[in-house]
A and B are shown apart, each in its own frame.
Chain A
Amino acid sequence: MQAKIQAIISRYGSDKGFLVPILQDVQRELNYLPEDALVMVSTLLEIPLSRIFEVATFYKAFSLTPRGKHLLSLCLGTACHVRGAPLLSGHIERALGIRPGETSPDLEFTFETVNCLGACALGPVMVVDGEYHGQLTIAKTNAILRDLGRKVPSDEEA
């Protein structure tokens, strides 16, 4: 891990001003931001750990806990909200047994809600592992979950 972090930081010329992109790269590499990784970043960049913790907890995109293999980001922005996204959120929560912002214990799924993905015309929208799914329905959501290997009882299909 040390070598990976060292490499990322030197790519940015050890410039403190690039803390956010550095943390993004670390997270991409390690799937989340483990405590010892942040301690290392703090030492190498000579930024106090308290400051790094501040930045890492400020942005929703950073996670201090391990994230699932699959990332589901459901939009709860205004447009998606009025088109029924909260229903889908409840449905996904029940299907995965986790609340927004959480990761399933088997580390398969991380489910999060976001505020507007900038694709309002497609609402309700969910980004699944980087891919946009628009005009979502319960049935479509079930299909997505099934594709990702989650058993969803068929009587829940609408």
Chain B
Amino acid sequence: MSDTVTLKINGRTITASAGSTLLAAAQSANIYIPNLCSNEELTPYGACRLCMVEIAHGKRTRMVASCIYEVAEGLEVQTVTERILNVRKLVIELLLARNPYHPRLLKISHELGVQASRFKEDVKGCILCGQCVRTCREVVGVAAIGFKGRGRTRTVATPFDKAPADCIACGSCAYICPVKVIPLEDKNNVRTIWKTEFPMAVCKKCGRPFAPEKQLAYFRKIANLPENHFDTCIQCR
């Protein structure tokens, strides 16, 4: 077995490494597919459905989410067909109904020629792409937040909607959020995130608050660092 496969995207022959996703293969061949929930650093998730493409199965075609579909030898893929554009428009309109003001969503709707959503606005901000949840689990490794409920009432939440015991206040969830709806505030040496206050560590040299104490403690623990390792901020080292 070779580790590359050859497939066709929009008629162009492309080689991709076996096991990669259609989206990744398209991107490395400079073929644009809109996407929102996919992130190279995170496990593929397939939540937003913006990245839909059409693949051929003999005479029939089928729509798949390119961010969770693996490349295969001889696969024929179309990224811009009427059927796909219709689906993408529908998806972006649904997303706009939840969040009508975010620049990134507006940019994609502009690309698709969507002027306004035909759905009644029900502004929730969060578009449930799950990047915050996946980042917290896979990159940070603390799994402090998750989803709650299902369907229309699904939200991202801390367990029991309480102060999250496992949260280290690193702010990665707020950072990764594509629509910036997770509130994070640093004020008076305190970081507030998930409605919980975390004291910041103050640099022993310059006296500036530079990171949440809990985050530093977590780093010390996983990297086996001495107790005084983070006494000073990066600038003062």
A interface residues with partner B (beta carbon < 8 Å): 35, 38, 48-54, 57-58, 64
Contact = CB atoms under 8 A, between A and B. Distances in A.
A36 B136 CA distance: 23
Contact of A48 (B143, B150, B157, B160): B143
Contacts of A48: 137, 142-144, 146, 166
B159 interface: yes
A50 B137 CA distance: 10
Which of A35, A49, A50, A51: most chain B CB closer than 10 A? A50
A54 B137 contact: no
A38 B102 CA distance: 37
A50 B149 contact: no
A52 B148 CA distance: 10
Contact of A57 (B133, B137, B149, B164): B149
Interface in B61-90: none
Contacts of B158: 50
Interface in B101-119: none
B145 interface: yes
Contacts of B147: 54, 57-58
Contact of A53 (B137, B142, B150, B159): B159
A42 to B, nearest CB: 9
Q: For this complex, into which size category does the number of interface residues on chain B fall?
A: 10 to 19
A49 B158 CA distance: 9
A49 B143 CA distance: 8
A149 to B, nearest CB: 33
A88 B22 CA distance: 50
Interface of B: 133, 136-137, 142-150, 157-160, 164-166
Contacts of A57: 147-150
- The 4 nearest A-B residue pairs measured at CB: A48-B143, A50-B146, A53-B159, A54-B146
A50 B136 CA distance: 10
A57 B146 CA distance: 11
B140 to A, nearest CB: 12
Given A38-B159, A50-B133, A58-B147, 16 more contacts: A35-B160, A48-B142, A48-B146, A50-B136, A50-B144, A50-B145, A50-B158, A50-B164, A51-B146, A53-B159, A54-B146, A54-B148, A57-B147, A57-B148, A57-B150, A64-B160
Nearest to A51: B146
7 contacts: A48-B137, A48-B142, A50-B136, A50-B146, A51-B146, A53-B148, A58-B150
Contacts of A50: 133, 136-137, 143-146, 158-159, 164, 166
Nearest to A50: B146
Contacts of B137: 48, 50
A38 B160 CA distance: 10
A48 B145 CA distance: 9
A22 B139 CA distance: 28
Nearest to A55: B146
A64 B145 CA distance: 18
A48 B142 CA distance: 8
A57 B148 CA distance: 6
A49 B144 CA distance: 8
